[in-house]
Amino acid sequence: MKLNSWAEFDKIRLNMKIKKVTIENRIFVRHINPDKSIGGFVEVTAKVEKTSYIEFSTQVYGDARVYGNARVYGNAWVFGNAQVYGNARVYGNAWVFGNARVYGNAQVSRNARVYGNAWVSGDAWVSGNARVSGNAWVSGDKIISILKTIQVFQHCVSITDNFVFYCCNKLTHQEVRKLTYEKSGTKAYMTEKQFKILKEIVLKAIKF
């Protein structure tokens, strides 16, 4: 089936009778899961191994790879150069993209985003509205679930029980309290006044 827009694709992507679509010269085909059930759409440039399960409502595209016993379900997306493998699970409305890697027994769920060069492995669980990006590496049995996300001067700041993530930086609450403009790494895109406002808002948000 040839479609004229991504809006059309969004309308038909849950129709399991449609096995192949073309949009803007990009070709997507349905994956067949190990249990022979019909899976989600996979762009021909991406790769999902026969051993992996992706639910009919999911999408894998770009140069992404899903292999091993990995499972992608719900409304999750895996795209870019991302890889999901081992016994990893990506589900809910989660996205894994960029050069990110999710593997081992790791789980990415709900509205979480894992991207950039981030790696999530072991028994780690990234959930809620969590953002794991840059060169971050979450492993072992860690659980990251964002308590709140705020936006200040077009910068998104995510706050967990123990950490604050902003502009590809990860700081403990205590480190945020002591952080100065000179050591913040924000000089290239933020004035000192803006930094002070941002810090004040974050400190109020985590309720020291």
Query: How many structural domains are present in the chain?
Result: 2
Tell me, yes or no, whether 29 and 81 share the same domain. Answer: yes
Other C-beta atoms closer than 10 Å to the C-beta of 167 total 16
What is the SS3 assignment for 124?
Answer: coil
Same domain, 85 and 187: no
Distance of CA 101 to the CA centre of its chain: 10
pLDDT of residue 168: 61
Q: Write out the residue range of the structural domain in which residue 8 sits.
A: 2-145
Contact 153, 137 (CB under 8 A): no
Q: What number of residues does the chain have?
A: 208
Q: Are residues 191 and 138 part of one domain?
A: no
pLDDT confidence of residue 37: 94
Residue 142 contacts residue 119 (beta carbons within 8 Å): no
Distance CA 64, CA 79 (A): 5
For residue 97, what are its two tokens? Answer: 């993209």
The predicted structure's pLDDT at residue 208: 45
Q: What are the pLDDT tens digits along the chain (208 aa)? A: 888 888 888 888 888 889 999 988 899 999 999 999 999 999 999 999 999 999 999 999 999 999 999 999 999 999 999 999 999 999 999 999 999 999 999 999 988 899 988 899 988 888 877 788 777 677 777 656 655 666 666 666 777 777 787 766 778 888 988 999 988 887 877 888 888 888 888 888 776 4
Q: What is the CATH number of the domain that holds 136?
A: 2.160.10.10
| Co-location of 18 and 112 in the same domain | yes
Whether residue 111 sits in one domain with residue 13: yes
**Do both 128 and 47 map to the same domain?**
yes
Structure tokens of 155?
A: 């910068």
